[in-house]
Structure 1
């Protein structure tokens, strides 16, 4: 009987001891050596940890978030910071929440943090302060205990690079996870010539898992090479925005919008003003941006840097602000995001967003973390395709026929009209229809008139000139009438000016970030212009040769009937002018080449950005 009672008491004592060794009030300092919980009858997990440590660079400090991408909670944890080369403890932890406390791995130094109770925790946040005059690479190493018997040791953060000159930078990914670790210092492999190795941009750490990210061009978050990008992190009731742009940009901005288009938006800008980052608020009225005074506490700049042509800033925006009489509630109201960047600043504002512009396809609350897709640019692609088909394709062919082929194919007619006239009218009506359709489409896309760019202004002029041409043609005087000469010159002048304006607009379209066209498209357009001009020169000289050879002055030279004559009929009126076979051959070549030019440019426009589309296609073929 005594023996049975002794065994029972022993089991109870062991159970109590196990509970005590479970350390519900946090890890003791000696745990810093190997980060292993002193839990009997428990097992180190061999699977990849469902938890992560996410550092965010601040001014002389690093903000840490201990959480799970899957939203799992945890009961206990221990975290400390070590130099990646020496393995020594570095820095101190501050601004701890109520359910965390300091662990002095070194007596008198706050170089570790652990839990204070075994209640469930999610996304704990606190700060780590950089030691004075410290320079090097550190890593945060931690243990997460999901419950009493389930834990992961050695969960590592991305590397944090501390440089006296450039401040704090966070690498994009942690070191590889190794299971069944027994001591902490060996976790940190020495990094030789670290500065020479490619380091991924730390801006993208946590995108779609702990923070919302959206950038231009579309899909750049996955490739981590955005021209302009915004990230939103919600920490309690605090909303933090990060903005970054690269290249020649002088500013990067984010807008909160009710739709994917610019207009009636609250904008915050980070600008490069003489090498210093400045933060401003502005308002979009239609396509116009107007800077306004920032009310106290509405936005606060946390940090900003300009380095290697990269502008970066982080600011906090109040969850409730009133702008232009409108209340912006970041907690309850879903918004579209607009991210823009530009090369120039105005005296009291920003200039046109000629580096990047993109809006999200849908609106959502900023606290709902997940992937944010770009708004469709289908209408922009369709607009470009129609304009290319019009002014590279049909207009080129129609104008060539009217200028050089009036005395060709004269032995037959089409629908009671000379071939040149019937086909000229057909191609020019196609040009008119596609141009008007393209104008309506881009107007629907933008929702307003636009003259912000040379492309928009010259394109508008092209559309107006094109619109009036058929009405001018419908009112043309009869041949031989006194005003026929005036009509001839006016019709010729308006048509050619429209053509020139269209070509100028196409060249400037290549420079629009919305078009997503590569710079080498300029060479295709230049090749088209050279071919078009050479063809006109050849046909002009051929017309002169035809005049010299003909026994009568037939209408072979293109400008012959620009002047009114009493009679347009002569003995050779129903005969092709000399060299008609050569003209027909040239037209055949011209027609085929123009179709190829138009088709290539349309494909590049519709599939833009063509480089990414081609890469995807080739990868698919190779995998197949």
Structure 2
């Protein structure tokens, strides 16, 4: 069941960056400088040319922000709004200086008109041309935030109010506009839209929201829907409003809490309605709506005048795009990626091979309302931020909006010890700073960020199909890392310990006295032959799997992640050691009846059981590793297998107790046929059919569960 919810989407956003604020600050217009704003009136003002306080349809007006007494400023953000706290913007920007930009251009249709600085140089004034709306939208004020220094800034200063007039400016003989001779109206001349009455088909042929008890006539809004054919649902959204720039939206949610919602938007911009779809990102601390039509398009100059590394499809849409171009001693790079959430990152790694480890990493991070670029280094499987986290970088600019994270920066080709400084721990050095005059294999990874640092990548990184030459214009596609050896490692371990080891231990515990004397195989008791065959097979598969993964990762590899994830290689080594110790102990086991035989039994059972328990735990931890690339539900199958084994063992134990088949420690000894246990064997003239049935069911169940897990491991990329 889904809840139908009328949504008010409130983005939370930053100012206070050398290249202007990111989109997150377009709403509250407050810089993130760590100090309080000034409480006095701002020593800055906004003026208009022509010098008047009215606007007409599509009128061009020059807007100037300037300091009183030529007071200087470095940063600013200006937005034409109905009031200071109403985040709705009107009109459009027609022309503005090169040292300015629109940081809110990717925001919603009625929230995307703004102007800010693009550098932090001192300014005494900024002038730009603003085009008024094409119709009456009511009063408009220009709201502005001004940053004088990092510690001195004013938030939401106001210009004088512009009021609408229908009188068009007259033209003088020189073509200049003059003020209308008629006095503008002091109040809006807006009239209400047509009254919305409840559709008589509501509850009959269509469903409606809100309920009749809340609205029957003169509704403020009305949403109705009905099936259209077998695959579609037809929606109608209506809202009373006197504004030309407005929107109404409905959201589909699994609960009555905003977050993780599918949204349908009906947006009117300058009186022109349009329908769009978006998604409410779920977060405990941040409410964000992401437009689903935000796309990254492949640069048409890829391979011709810029180098590119990407995962673009045939239609040109991309999940990420890295472009580069040589610029003297630098390489100019731009990394753009499509992500969702408030604290996210994407990164590019330079590697001499196609394996993670010993890699130089460029990080593009959006975390805690800050977007920036940093440099780190993969030391084995661990990523470490360099002490000088922007060493070799310059001309950094970064932005995040509508789920698109973009970072542009220049990077020095070569490392110099003089510039690196004296820091030694995880700092820039000839070992961590890769020379971009050389060719490198490229990795792309993305995931969640926290506290300004990258976390574990969400999926296994993609890798370039060839090495990148940053001095040439290449068009390189991304491909997935070859995980065949990782898959084979997981499959072998699963077969070894989920089937063979479990069956071998089960036979030794419950089937020593099932087959009477005279039913041996090759002179050996049946349970022992099955037990030994299963355990030897488990050991061989474990050894093969251990060698495969050891060679694949180039030795011992520490894993990033939680403690449970990090324990995987450690427990794997323990399992290998125990699996090796037990057959060696078996070769030197004392003869039955000797004083040391009970000691051997205790250690043999203990080592075998310990190896089995550790292996199952390690299979669980292996399924959550990024490199495994298996869906979460594989752990459901593992838990079913654990539950099944526990159930079968309990049933077998109860059955043996009731039949009083276990009477003494001697009955568990492996003795020659016709030996000391001959008297006890007289009671076994026939094989218990219940035990045979249990063994068959257990074998079939383990085969099915093991096969299921192996198939999921082998086809994990496709789930």
* TM-score, normalising length: structure 2: 0.53
Q: Does 1:425 align with 2:532?
A: yes
The one-character-per-residue Cα deviations of 1:389-427 (angstroms, maximum 9, x if unpaired) are 111111111111111111122332223211111111111
1:205 alignment partner in structure 2: 297
2:494 alignment partner in structure 1: 388
1: distance between equivalents of 2:342 and 2:105? 33
1:101 alignment partner in structure 2: none
Unaligned ranges ≥5, structure 2: 1-18, 24-56, 63-92, 113-143, 146-269, 280-289, 416-427, 560-565
2: distance between equivalents of 1:292 and 1:486? 55
2:459 alignment partner in structure 1: 356
1:325 alignment partner in structure 2: 430
The one-character-per-residue Cα deviations of 1:197-228 (angstroms, maximum 9, x if unpaired) are 9955645311697363457xxx99999796xx
2:102 alignment partner in structure 1: 130
The one-character-per-residue Cα deviations of 1:160-215 (angstroms, maximum 9, x if unpaired) are xxxx99xxxxxxxxxxxxxxxxxxxxxx9955144659955645311697363457
The one-character-per-residue Cα deviations of 1:50-97 (angstroms, maximum 9, x if unpaired) are xxxxxxxx96899xxxxxxxxxxxxxxxxxxxxxxx999999xxxxxx
The one-character-per-residue Cα deviations of 1:431-464 (angstroms, maximum 9, x if unpaired) are 1111111111111221131242232332232222
Pairs within 5 Å for 1:305-316: 305=399, 312-316=405-409
The alignment of Structure 1 onto Structure 2 pairs a total of residues equal to 442
1: distance between equivalents of 2:271 and 2:308? 32
1:513 CA drift (Å): 1.8
Find the residue that maps to 2:405 and give its secondary structure. strand
1:521 CA drift (Å): 1.2
1:502 CA drift (Å): 1.3
1:340 CA drift (Å): 5.0
Q: Does 1:416 align with 2:523?
A: yes
CA contact (8 A) 1:343 1:355 kept: no
1:280 CA drift (Å): 2.6
1: distance between equivalents of 2:578 and 2:447? 33
Q: Does 1:192 align with 2:279?
A: no
2: distance between equivalents of 1:585 and 1:503? 26
1: distance between equivalents of 2:354 and 2:716? 20
2:442 to 323, 332, 336: 336
CA gap 1:136/1:267 in 2 versus in 1, 3 angstroms: closer
1:103 alignment partner in structure 2: none
CA contact (8 A) 2:367 2:450 kept: no
CA gap 1:357/1:134 in 2 versus in 1, 3 angstroms: closer
2:119 alignment partner in structure 1: none
2: distance between equivalents of 1:379 and 1:431? 19
Q: Does 1:287 align with 2:395?
A: no
CA contact (8 A) 2:440 2:469 kept: yes
The one-character-per-residue Cα deviations of 1:246-298 (angstroms, maximum 9, x if unpaired) are 46966543211011212221122344554433433222232333332338761
2: distance between equivalents of 1:561 and 1:90? 101
Pairs within 5 Å for 1:476-491: 476-491=589-604
CA contact (8 A) 1:379 1:442 kept: yes
CA gap 1:260/1:133 in 2 versus in 1, 3 angstroms: closer
2: distance between equivalents of 1:502 and 1:571? 39
2: distance between equivalents of 1:336 and 1:480? 65
CA gap 1:294/1:414 in 2 versus in 1, 3 angstroms: same
1:604 CA drift (Å): 0.8
1:365 to 458, 469, 475: 469
Find the residue that maps to 2:594 and give its secondary structure. coil
The one-character-per-residue Cα deviations of 1:113-171 (angstroms, maximum 9, x if unpaired) are xxxxxxxxxxxxx9994399997659xxxxxxxxxxxxxxxxxxxxxxxxx99xxxxxx
1:381 CA drift (Å): 0.8
CA gap 1:413/1:200 in 2 versus in 1, 3 angstroms: same
2: distance between equivalents of 1:521 and 1:300? 46
2:609 alignment partner in structure 1: 496
1:471 CA drift (Å): 0.9
Unaligned ranges ≥5, structure 1: 1-57, 63-85, 92-108, 113-125, 139-163, 166-187, 612-624
Pairs within 5 Å for 1:510-529: 510-529=623-642
CA RMSD of aligned residues (A): 4.5
2: distance between equivalents of 1:296 and 1:133? 28
CA contact (8 A) 2:380 2:558 kept: no
2:552 to 445, 448, 452: 445
2: distance between equivalents of 1:284 and 1:90? 54
2: distance between equivalents of 1:405 and 1:543? 10
Q: Does 1:262 align with 2:356?
A: yes
Q: Does 1:464 align with 2:577?
A: yes
Q: Does 1:398 align with 2:504?
A: yes
* TM-score, normalising length: structure 1: 0.60
1: distance between equivalents of 2:664 and 2:104? 94
The one-character-per-residue Cα deviations of 1:290-337 (angstroms, maximum 9, x if unpaired) are 3323387612474445668x6834131415032521563435523332
2:567 alignment partner in structure 1: 454
2: distance between equivalents of 1:287 and 1:231? 23
Find the residue that maps to 1:416 and give its secondary structure. coil
CA gap 1:598/1:221 in 2 versus in 1, 3 angstroms: farther
Find the residue that maps to 2:323 and give its secondary structure. strand
2: distance between equivalents of 1:220 and 1:531? 45
CA contact (8 A) 1:469 1:495 kept: yes
Find the residue that maps to 2:626 and give its secondary structure. coil
**Structure with greater helix share of residues:** 1
CA contact (8 A) 2:22 2:400 kept: no
The one-character-per-residue Cα deviations of 1:442-500 (angstroms, maximum 9, x if unpaired) are 11221131242232332232222222221111121111222211111111111111111
CA gap 1:271/1:301 in 2 versus in 1, 3 angstroms: farther
Q: Does 1:234 align with 2:339?
A: no
CA contact (8 A) 1:466 1:495 kept: yes
Find the residue that maps to 1:372 and give its secondary structure. strand
Pairs within 5 Å for 1:508-547: 508-547=621-660
Pairs within 5 Å for 1:147-158: none
1: distance between equivalents of 2:629 and 2:293? 23
CA contact (8 A) 2:397 2:409 kept: no
Structure 1 stretch displaced more, 423-432 or 571-580: 571-580
Find the residue that maps to 2:499 and give its secondary structure. helix
2: distance between equivalents of 1:500 and 1:464? 14
2:162 alignment partner in structure 1: none
2: distance between equivalents of 1:88 and 1:582? 93
CA gap 1:395/1:111 in 2 versus in 1, 3 angstroms: same
Pairs within 5 Å for 1:158-173: none
CA contact (8 A) 2:310 2:318 kept: no
CA gap 1:502/1:553 in 2 versus in 1, 3 angstroms: closer
1:591 CA drift (Å): 0.5
2:234 alignment partner in structure 1: none
